[in-house]
Chain A
Amino acid sequence: MTEREQAFLEYVQSGGQVEASDWMPDDYRAKLVKFIEMHGNSELMGVLPEREWILRAPTLQRKLALTAKVQDEVGHSQLIYRVVEDLGKPREQCLDDLISGKAKFHNVFHYPTKTWGDVGVIAWLVDAAAIISQKALLKCSYSPYARIMKKICWEESFHILHGRDVVLTMMNGTDEQRELVQEALNRWWGPLMQFHGNPIPKDEDPMYIWRIKSQGNEEARQQFLDGYVPQIWELGLTVPDPKLRKSDDGVWEYTEPDWDELRSVVTGHGPKSQDRLDLRRRARENTSWVRSIVLARAA
């Protein structure tokens, strides 16, 4: 590391903030772009499992809420890709890399949604897992990203309430509705436990070293379990992990998540990875003429 890079490292580690026009080490910029790009990709891909259910929402209120939630996620991807673009990578290139499989998106968006139970469980628990990471990003050393995280966290607050409302309504409903929730939870638990990533120690995680992330993976997972397992149990739902318990020193114990599955899924081998990327590719090709008129640049 050069002297200038070392000084920069000390600067961010003592809470220094970086703006778009500031000098930054190549490695910092590269890691930042990759991390933020993956977030943008995830928001955009996260839309696809949920949008099917917009068309099947069983009341007008749910229809409006779900449409607004998905709209927010598209809006988030817009905010995020703008940040990436100002760091030097154009949006269209990000979308190219996403569709070709070169760039990744979070594991949870590679799985199918099968019932209205999934709609509730995703909005409640997947969004909860995401919010924990997102709140930690409010302290990101790169200010343009930290600032959009503020808006994103504020908008996400209704998503979790909506999810919880959907789940509670079903839990207070018929036996079949309760089964739908339990069955969805059984399927989503594995991906949820993998969501925050494998427990690499903070000081070995370049994201933490550069203060892009301010929280280690395991810390995030523990926070999720602490916040949400009691909420799950109090509804009479079961978590499909017999080892799950909170030990006396406050640490949650659980069956080791399948890290091979995580690796395989995020490299495009999840059950819905290819279908969804194909949908994105087709939608993009179908509308490239619109962009060439509206954006006056290569579609």
Chain B
Amino acid sequence: MIYEVFRQERKGQPLQHAGSVEAPDRAFADVYAREQYGRRGESTSLWIVPRDAVIEIDDFVDELNRNYHRVDGYSLKEKLKEARERAASAKSADAFSAGKG
């Protein structure tokens, strides 16, 4: 049976997929994962999972470009330029009329 191994290098870091070992059961998988991914103390934590317990998802559909909930759905440059120019000219108009009055 193939067991997938996830390892955490240091506390606070995410667990990442590191590889796989072949083993007949949990006891062997524990020993073998420990050895391949931790014999130098290079991991603080390992998760081992039988391969067939892993569900793989790699088809994501976004046909209608749903960008309203992503950063790239917001282009503020032009609006900001227009708003700044409007505020700047309003300020100088006030100053002008203030100066006149």
- Please determine if A and B sit in direct contact within the complex, based on CB atoms under 8 angstroms apart: yes
- Taking a contact as CB atoms under 8 Å apart, the answer to whether B58 and A75 are in contact is no
Q: Kindly list chain A residues whose C-beta atoms are within 8 Å of the C-beta of B35.
A: 75
B36 within 8 A of A: yes
Choice from A21, A147, A148, A295 contacting B22 with Cβ under 8 Å? A295
Interface residues of A in 143-186 (CB under 8 A from B): 147-148, 151
Task: Give A202 Cβ to nearest chain B Cβ, in Å.
Answer: 30
- Contact between B20 and A82, CB atoms less than 8 A apart: yes
The verdict on A78 contacting chain B, using a C-beta distance below 8 Å, is yes
Residues 39-56 of A, flagged 1 when their CB comes within 8 A of B and 0 if not, give 000000000000000000
Contact of A21 with B36 in the complex, beta carbons under 8 Å: no
Q: Please tell me if the beta carbons of B21 and A78 are within 8 angstroms of each other in the complex.
A: yes
A-side interface size class: 10 to 19
C-alpha gap A78/B56 in the complex (Å):
24
Closest Cβ of chain B to A137, distance in Å, is 16
Q: Are A82 and B22 in contact (CB under 8 A)?
A: yes
Bound form: Cα–Cα A149–B24 in Å: 26
Residue from A21, A91, A151, A295 within 8 A of B58 (CB atoms): A21
Q: How would residues 18 to 35 of chain B score, 1 for a CB under 8 Å from any chain A CB and 0 otherwise?
A: 111110100010000001
Q: Known contacts A21-B56, A21-B58, A148-B19: does B36 contact A78 (CB below 8 Å)?
A: yes
Q: Report A-chain residues with C-beta under 8 Å of the C-beta of B56.
A: 21
Contact with B along A71-92 (1 / 0, CB 8 A): 0000100110010000000010
**Cα distance A296–B56 in the bound complex, in angstroms:** 26
Listed by A's residue number, 23 A-B pairs whose Cβ atoms lie within 8 Å are A21-B56, A21-B58, A75-B35, A75-B36, A78-B21, A78-B36, A79-B19, A79-B36, A82-B2, A82-B19, A82-B20, A82-B21, A82-B22, A91-B22, A147-B19, A148-B19, A151-B18, A151-B19, A294-B24, A294-B28, A295-B22, A295-B24, A296-B24
Interface residues of A (CB under 8 A from B): 21, 75, 78-79, 82, 91, 147-148, 151, 294-296
